[in-house]
């Protein structure tokens, strides 16, 4: 990609001073930073909850927490990781990178942008405050299935309101991203020239707009069932508890793709740079992403193979789910072909991207196994699926985010992170994530159900390993925090404008100075 | 870190003695045709994944080794190849087609519940199972065995390793005949649960207000253990399933013994749904391997004495009320109200009876069809005179019948 950029650096007014800068900012970089910092904090909070879970599961017997609190931990851990850590991280990356990548001076709707961020901290604070309410926080799992969820105490309406706010925040962010991408591209930046990260976010944004209202609707129906005497999900009043599951997973399955598509985008940015070769099969990547987006709407029933659907439904969802493996496979093949006969180097971002390809694919394999509905009658609601979704979400989504942070951090801060520490962080994380989650495959197959605070003796060894892995994983992330904070405090070597050898070939963002000035592309670049 | 490793080593040794022999890496083949079919499907898709994995990871690793810049690799210029892209779209599709065919065949079999020799209705409750042998009029509850239940309390001081089948043992197992097609009907009494015995090959959700089904023809006599797999609240981990498969003749014997024990003390759940007065008390559930002693039960309809009501009431309380209202009757603030000092318990009797009989959806099950009038009378008597309540009331089965 060649660019003739005209940088004009006079009237480059910087940010306002003090705290109000962050409260009132409409600058996409500030808002990106806010999202990323919030995400990192929530990642640590959600992680602490995971460690409560892993501590209790270290040995058979109940050692530390009441089963009710344990259930609250699994529920909040999942909600916080999904809505407080991974989604905000993507939103942060979108804010920082999309304008810089498409040659736009900012997001299309800057005030809306501020609003959609600032809803977020209040929503997660409200969610966490439910821990201190009478009856404890919601404890029915992140899926919030009725009738169980209706047994929640005072936390119930607050949990639902949290979801409403998070939904509004996501929808606003999604609208902003779509409008930005469709209207703010630099001359010459046609759709089929956009970096893959932009493409994957565009598709993700459409998914978000389609699904968040469904989720909001479903939980509102829970609310009216509990407080206003409706019976949407109550058989005694003519309703059906399984209806909620259909609504939830109509949201939930596309949601898991909301959590992975931007990761596909990040990895598709990183791998070409460090292979020194163009992305293989760019257009098939775009089409594969779009078909995954489409398919994600028609496979939700694979979460409900055991509810007693008619066999036609069961088989339909089986076939549709199996189909998803095809475009997913295409993506993996494309990444590997990009590396094939490249000139590969192994800086930290590349390490994370390679680990992503390997471990995400592993999660894809178990996904494929679970798509076979008769086999899923055994796998469902066991640790096998816990292993599956942590492979795709932790060593998938989270790895891509961390890789993306290492990739762009020098551009954001103007400082190179400490490569030796970063390599340590990578290896500790990768080894421990496998120690934590790989044994869970065996646990599930051997018969351990998920969401239990105590288990039979034959599950003891693997659980002990898993807990040790979990703790190493958790504490390794402190290294990451340290590395990031150092860069943010402008410590460490200066980064060059290009940051990575030849990166200017792979993205407009690397043709800008490091650190990226407060305002960029006030005059759009010309993309050939 | 070092400390953790030592801890791990120690705990590894500690459990190694009892448990290592048991642990499994793979899905069980189970003891039914379905479970074997499903196991085969599982292995087939597993090996397909291994095959693809070896290929994909092999190429990746080769590339990472040979196409490194440090080895002087010069990047190639290619970035697409329509032929190969079509190929790697079509080939996976064909592999999937190959998987879909056996999967469909097995699924159709799973759904074929016709021609069953007997039907058992399974109802999930917080946190116990109820089994109804529909054609036999035998029904009972099945809850976590007392030993496991004691050991699993926080600070119990009991090492789980000393408990036989910790968390996988129940007071009254489900007994089934070998070689007969058993149809299961599932429903939920309060919230969702799921009934799973891995050796039978599948699990099924139990949904309040709806009936789902499944079937199994168990081929080998033996004891098969499983658990609830749908999160159902506080004690989700503590409502295991035990199936004992017996040869037809022994099963018949067991069944006959159950019918003989029509009237049971509360907490000894084998009951008949036929007219209860036809039967006389008998030694309960010996065939099912229950080891607990039982108190002699008064025949139904017979007035209760205060003493009998309190003993029976305590048993009923422990098996049906305690998991929510707690052993000390203090409940769980914000979720489950205390019995101690409760307005209902200390108030008019009629309201108390109504509450127990009708339940409080979605929090508390209706006990009208779970407990017998005698048991309801006893437990209400107990609640009104325990946990610091002292109404002095003695409730009789006849009082219940009028509600
Ligand atoms: C090849 C692609 C995939 C297939 C075929 C697949 C298939 C499945 C199936 C069948 C289940 C339900 C299992 C059960 O409950 O018994 C499941 C669960 C799940 N999957 Fe995937 N999956 C794939 C990729 C992904 C990706 C990319 C993500 C997210 C990044 C993901 C996240 C999840 C999550 C979070 C659950 C569990 C949800 C819950 O019950 O709490 N999966 N997957
Ligand atoms: Cu899904």
Please tell me the least confidently modeled range out of A207-216, A492-501, B90-99, B393-402: B393-402
A13 part of a folded domain: no
CB contact under 8 A, A456 and B165: yes
Average per-residue pLDDT in chain B?
A: 83
B115 conformational bin, left if phi > 0, alpha if psi -120 to 50, beta if neither: left
Same domain, yes or no: B101 and B210: no
**Residue A415 confidence (pLDDT):** 94
Q: Evaluate if pTM is beyond 0.90.
A: no
CATH number, domain containing residue B126: 2.60.40.420
User: What does the pLDDT read at residue A100?
Assistant: 95
Which has the higher per-residue pLDDT, B223 or B6?
A: B223
Half-sphere exposure of B270 (CA within 13 A, CB side): 28
B361 confidence band (pLDDT: 50, 70, 90): low
Higher pLDDT, B249 or B400: B249
Give the least confident one: A286-300, A340-354, B52-66, B270-284: B270-284
pLDDT at B23: 59
Instruction: Indicate if B46 and B128 belong to the same structural domain.
Output: no
Provide the residue range defining the domain that includes A43.
Answer: 21-511
Is there a contact between B215 and B112 (Cβ–Cβ < 8 Å)? yes
Q: Are residues B43 and B137 in the same domain?
A: no
Structure tokens of A136? Answer: 């404890």
Does B102 reside within a domain? yes
Of the residues B228, B248, B268, the one at which a domain ends: B248
Check whether B279 has a pLDDT greater than 70.
no
- Are B128 and B54 members of one domain? no
Q: In the numeric block, which tokens belong to residue A408?
A: 């762009």
The three-class DSSP label of residue A484 is: helix
In a domain, residue A190? The reply is yes
Looking at the structure, do residues B217 and B337 belong to the same domain, yes or no?
no
Neighboring chain A residues of B159 at a CB cutoff of 8 Å: 61
Angle, helices A348-371/A311-339, rounded to nearest 10 degrees:
160
The percentage of chain B sitting over the pLDDT mark of 70, rounded to a whole number, equals: 83
CA distance A465 to A392: 20
Q: Do B201 and A459 touch (CB under 8 A)?
A: no
Q: How far is CA A374 from CA A296, A482, B26, in A?
A: 21, 47, 16
In chain A, the number of structural domains is 1
Task: Please indicate whether, in this complex, the C-beta atoms of A282 and B64 are within 8 angstroms of each other.
Answer: no
Rounded distance between C-alpha atoms, residue B365 and residue B348, angstroms = 21
Q: Which residues of A are catalytic?
A: 77, 106, 142, 169-170, 253, 255, 257, 268, 302-303, 328, 331, 450
Which whole number is the average pLDDT over B378-399? 87
Q: Name the domain boundary from B201, B227, B248.
A: B248
Inter-residue contact A1 to A526 (CB < 8 Å): no
Instruction: Specify if A169 maps to a domain.
Output: yes
- Looking at CA atoms only, how far is residue A257 from chain B in angstroms? 20
Nearest CA in chain B to A241: B207
| C-alpha to C-alpha distance for B133 and B129, rounded to whole angstroms | 13
Is B138 found in the same domain as B244? yes
8 Å CB contact of B194 and A381: yes
- Reading the block at residue A7, the tokens are 């940088």
Comparing alpha-carbon positions, the chain B residue that sits nearest to A350 is B64
Note the pLDDT of residue A12.
Answer: 52
Asked whether residue B125 is domain-assigned, the answer is yes
- Quick check: is B129 in a domain? yes
In this structure, are B244 and B218 located in the same domain? Answer: yes
Contacts of residue A55, Cβ cutoff 8 Å, sequence gap at least 6: A63, A64, A467
- Tokens encoding A369: 């196994």
Which of B241, B246, B154, B150 has the alpha carbon at shortest distance from B199?
B241
Phi–psi pair at B160, nearest 5 degrees:
-55, -30
Beta-strand pair B181-188/B212-217: antiparallel
Name the pLDDT band for B261 (thresholds 50, 70, 90). low
Q: pLDDT-derived band of residue B264, with 50, 70 and 90 as boundaries?
A: very low
Residue A516 lies in a domain: no
Q: pLDDT (tens digit, 9 = 90+) per residue, A285-317?
A: 999 999 999 999 999 999 999 999 999 999 999
With CB atoms and an 8 Å threshold, state whether A326 touches B96: yes
Question: How many C-beta atoms surround the C-beta of residue B29 within 10 A?
Answer: 16
Please state the φ and ψ torsions of residue B245, each to the nearest 5 degrees: -100, 125
B336 DSSP β-pair partners = B332
**A55 contacts A467 by C-beta, under 8 angstroms:** yes
Shared domain for B136 and B216, answered yes or no, is yes
What number of other Cβ atoms are within 10 A of residue A434's Cβ? 17
Write down the pLDDT at residue A327: 95
Over 90: is that where the pLDDT of B181 sits? yes
Task: Say if residue B217 is in the same domain as residue B145.
Answer: yes
Q: ipTM score here?
A: 0.91
Note the pLDDT tens digit of each residue in B205-226: 999 999 999 999 999 999 999 9
Q: Give the model's pLDDT for residue B2.
A: 41
In a domain, B347, yes or no: yes
B27 in a domain, yes or no? no
Tell me what pLDDT residue A337 has.
95
Please check whether residue A374 lies inside any domain of the structure: yes
3-class state of residue A3 by DSSP: strand
- Tell me the shortest Cα–Cα distance from B174 to chain A, in angstroms: 19
For residue A5, what pLDDT is reported? 46
Identify the CATH number of the domain in which residue A135 sits: 1.20.210.10
Confirm whether B133 is domain-assigned. Answer: yes
pLDDT for B253 beyond 80? yes
Token pair in block for residue B106: 């097995």
**Which distant-in-sequence residues (6+ apart) come within 8 Å of A382 by Cβ?**
A443, A444, A445, A447, A448, A449, A450, B229
pLDDT at B74: 86
Q: Which residues, in sequence order, are bridge partners of residue A473?
A: none
> What distance in Å separates the CA atoms of residue A510 and residue A516, rounded to the nearest whole number?
9
Structural domains counted in chain B: 3
Domain shared by B85 and B147, yes or no: no
Q: Are A510 and A500 in contact (CB under 8 A)?
A: yes
- Same domain? For B101 and B122 the reply is no
Residues 149-178 of B with CB under 8 A from A: 151-154, 156, 159-161, 165-168
Full residue range of the structural domain in which residue B211 is found: 118-156+163-248
What does residue B204 show for φ and ψ, rounded to 5 degrees?
Answer: -140, 140
pLDDT at B248 over 70: yes
Residue A522 forms part of a structural domain: no
Residue B285 lies in a domain: no
**For residue A491, how far is its CA from the centre of ligand 2 (angstroms)?**
43
Mean of the pLDDT values across residues B36-41? 96
Strand B181-188 with B118-125, pairing: parallel
Nearest to B196 by CA among B124, B255, B248: B124
On whether residue B278 sits in a domain, the answer given is: no
Residues B52 and B126 grouped into a single domain: no
pLDDT at residue B10 is higher than 50: no
Given this model, what pLDDT does residue B371 score? 83
Plot region of B289 (φ>0 → left; ψ -120 to 50 → alpha; else → beta): left
Distance between CA atoms of residues B69 and B63, nearest Å: 11
**Number of Cβ within a 10 Å radius of residue B74:** 11
Type and span of the H or E element at A462: helix A460-488
Q: How far is the C-alpha of A475 from the C-alpha of A301, rounded, in Å?
A: 37
Which residues lie with the beta carbon below 6 Å from any ligand 1 atom?
A 143, 256, 259-260, 302-303, 321, 324-325, 328, 364, 367-368, 370-371, 376, 379-380, 385, 388-389, 392-393, 396-397
Lowest model confidence (mean pLDDT) among A344-358, B181-195, B268-282 = B268-282
What residues does B176 pair with on adjacent strands?
A: B245
What pairing do the DSSP bridges indicate for beta strands B138-142 and B181-188? Answer: unpaired
The whole-number pLDDT of residue B341 equals 83
Least confident range from A232-241, B115-124, B266-275: namely: B266-275
Q: What is the structure's pLDDT at A8? A: 47
Residues of chain A with pLDDT under 50: 1-10
Distance of CA A443 to the CA centre of its chain: 26
Instruction: Determine contact, residues A495/A414, Cβ cutoff 8 Å.
Output: yes
**What pLDDT, in 10s, does the model give residues A417-470?**
999 999 999 999 999 999 999 999 999 999 999 999 999 999 999 999 999 999
Crossing angle, helix B373-385 and helix B306-316, to 10 degrees? 100
Establish if A148 belongs to a structural domain: yes
Domain assignment present for A14: no
What is the pLDDT at residue B274? 38
């Amino acid at each position: 990609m060649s660019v003739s950029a005209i940088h004009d650096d006079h009237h480059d007014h910087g940010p306002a001073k003090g705290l109000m800068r962050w409260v009132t900012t409409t600058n996409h970089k500030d808002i990106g930073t806010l999202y990323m910092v919030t995400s990192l904090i929530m990642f640590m909070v959600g992680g602490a909850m995971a460690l409560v879970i892993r501590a209790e599961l270290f040995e058979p017997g109940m050692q530390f927490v009441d089963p009710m609190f344990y259930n609250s931990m699994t529920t909040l851990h999942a909600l916080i990781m999904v809505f407080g850590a991974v989604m905000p991280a993507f939103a942060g990356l979108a804010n920082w990178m999309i304008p810089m990548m498409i040659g736009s001076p900012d997001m299309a709707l800057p005030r809306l942008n501020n609003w959609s961020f600032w809803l977020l901290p209040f929503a997660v604070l409200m969610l966490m405050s439910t821990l201190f309410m009478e009856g404890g926080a919601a404890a029915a799992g992140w899926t919030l299935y009725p009738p169980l969820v209706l047994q929640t105490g005072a936390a119930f309406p607050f949990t639902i309101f949290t979801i409403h706010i998070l939904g509004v925040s996501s929808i606003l962010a999604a609208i902003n991203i779509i409008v930005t991408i469709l209207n703010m591209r630099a001359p010459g930046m046609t759709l089929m020239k956009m970096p893959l990260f932009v493409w994957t976010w565009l598709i993700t944004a459409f998914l978000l707009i389609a699904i968040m209202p469904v989720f909001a609707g479903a939980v509102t129906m829970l609310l009216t069932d509990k407080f206003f005497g409706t019976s949407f999900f109550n058989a005694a009043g003519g309703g059906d508890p399984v209806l909620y599951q259909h609504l939830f997973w109509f949201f939930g399955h596309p949601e898991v793709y909301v959590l992975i598509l931007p990761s596909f985008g990040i990895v598709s940015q990183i791998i070409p740079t460090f292979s020194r070769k163009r992305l293989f099969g760019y257009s098939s990547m775009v089409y594969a992403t779009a078909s995954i987006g489409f398919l994600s709407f028609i496979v939700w029933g694979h979460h409900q193979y055991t509810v007693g659907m008619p066999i036609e439904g069961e088989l339909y969802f089986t076939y549709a789910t199996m189909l998803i493996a095809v475009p997913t496979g295409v993506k993996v093949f494309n990444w590997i072909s990009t590396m094939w006969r490249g000139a590969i180097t192994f800086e930290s971002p590349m390490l994370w991207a390679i680990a992503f390809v390997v471990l995400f694919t592993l999660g894809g394999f178990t996904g494929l196994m679970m798509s076979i509905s008769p086999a899923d009658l055994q796998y469902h609601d066991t640790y096998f699926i816990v292993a599956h979704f942590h492979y795709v979400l932790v060593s998938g989504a989270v790895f891509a985010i961390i890789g993306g942070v290492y990739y762009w951090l020098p551009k954001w801060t103007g400082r190179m992170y400490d490569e030796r520490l970063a390599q340590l962080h990578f290896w500790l994380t990768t080894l421990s994530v496998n120690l934590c989650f790989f044994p869970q495959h065996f646990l599930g197959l051997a018969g351990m159900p998920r969401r239990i605070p105590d288990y039979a003796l034959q599950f003891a060894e693997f659980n002990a390993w898993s807990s040790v892995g979990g703790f190493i994983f958790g504490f390794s992330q402190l290294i990451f925090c340290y590395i990031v904070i150092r860069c943010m405090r402008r410590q460490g070597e200066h980064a060059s404008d290009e940051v990575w050898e030849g990166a200017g070939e792979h993205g407009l963002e690397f043709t800008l100075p490091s650190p990226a000035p407060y305002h960029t592309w006030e005059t759009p670049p010309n993309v050939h | 870190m070092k400390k953790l490793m030592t801890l791990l080593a120690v705990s590894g040794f500690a459990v190694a003695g009892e448990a290592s022999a048991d642990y499994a890496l793979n899905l069980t083949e189970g003891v039914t045709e379905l479970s074997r079919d499903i196991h085969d499907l599982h292995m087939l898709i597993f090996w397909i994944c291994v095959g693809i994995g070896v290929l994909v990871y092999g190429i990746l690793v080769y590339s990472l080794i040979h196409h490194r810049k440090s080895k002087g690799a010069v990047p190639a210029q290619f970035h697409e190849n329509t032929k190969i892209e079509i190929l790697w779209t079509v080939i996976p599709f064909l592999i999937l087609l190959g998987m879909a065919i056996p999967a469909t065949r097995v699924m159709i079999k799973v759904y074929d519940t016709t021609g069953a020799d007997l039907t058992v209705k399974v109802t999930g409750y917080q946190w116990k199972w109820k089994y109804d042998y529909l054609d036999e009029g035998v029904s009972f509850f099945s809850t976590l065995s007392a030993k496991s239940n004691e050991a699993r309390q926080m600070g119990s001081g009991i090492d789980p390793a000393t408990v036989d089948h910790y968390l996988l043992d129940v007071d009254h197992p489900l007994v089934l005949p070998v070689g007969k097609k058993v149809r299961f009907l599932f429903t939920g009494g309060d919230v969702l649960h799921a009934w799973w015995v891995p050796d039978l090959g599948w699990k099924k959700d139990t949904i309040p207000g709806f009936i789902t089904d499944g079937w199994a023809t168990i081929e080998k006599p033996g004891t098969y253990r499983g658990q609830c797999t749908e999160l159902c609240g506080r004690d989700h981990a503590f409502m295991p399933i035990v199936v004992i498969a017996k040869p037809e003749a022994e099963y018949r014997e067991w069944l006959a013994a159950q019918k003989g024990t029509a009237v049971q003390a509360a907490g000894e759940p084998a009951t008949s749904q036929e007219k209860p007065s036809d039967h006389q008390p008998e030694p309960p559930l010996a065939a099912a391997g229950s080891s607990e002693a039982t108190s002699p039960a008064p025949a139904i309809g017979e007035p209760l004495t205060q003493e009998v009501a309190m003993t029976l009431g305590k048993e009923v309380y422990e098996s049906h009320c305690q998991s929510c209202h707690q052993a000390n009757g203090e409940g769980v603030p914000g979720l489950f109200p205390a019995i101690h000092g409760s307005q209902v318990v200390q108030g008019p009797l009629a309201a108390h009876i109504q509450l127990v009989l009708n339940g409080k959806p979605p929090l508390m099950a209706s006990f009208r069809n779970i407990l017998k009038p005698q048991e309801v009378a006893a437990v209400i008597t107990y609640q009104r005179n325990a946990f610091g309540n002292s109404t002095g009331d003695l409730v009789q089965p006849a009082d219940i019948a009028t509600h």
